[in-house]
Structure 1
């Protein structure tokens, strides 16, 4: 694949993505409830999502955690995992313990 084609592919993903529009720094917050509320607001407001709001919000959070991988500090991972439970609670889904 040539360089021009691969750069166009990246541009295409950015232009056609159905990802949620998140507030800047949402994953850097220290309060799991605040992260969950922000993700819920973005998912509920989105008109371009392909699945229900809960799945879209949870997918964004999971993607961020997985993308960071081993580089995500343990404290930040705990906060983001707690945000998953908060998100489940906001949508009336059973929490995992």
Structure 2
């Protein structure tokens, strides 16, 4: 697995926690049920805040 910055790791952790509680929503407003999608949302939010996130291969 790729290494992310501390800030990015925290964002992913928050997104996964929200997903487990059923509070995480996608851009269209639907509830997120996939762990992969929750990670993607966390990385996206971290990227918006300027955290270092490696590009997808």
Q: What TM-score bracket applies, with the shorter chain setting the length?
A: 0.3 to 0.5
- Under a length normalisation based on structure 2, what TM-score does the superposition of the two structures give? 0.40
Larger Rg: 1
* Between structures 1 and 2, the one with greater helix share: 1
* TM-score of the superposed pair, with normalisation by structure 1: 0.27
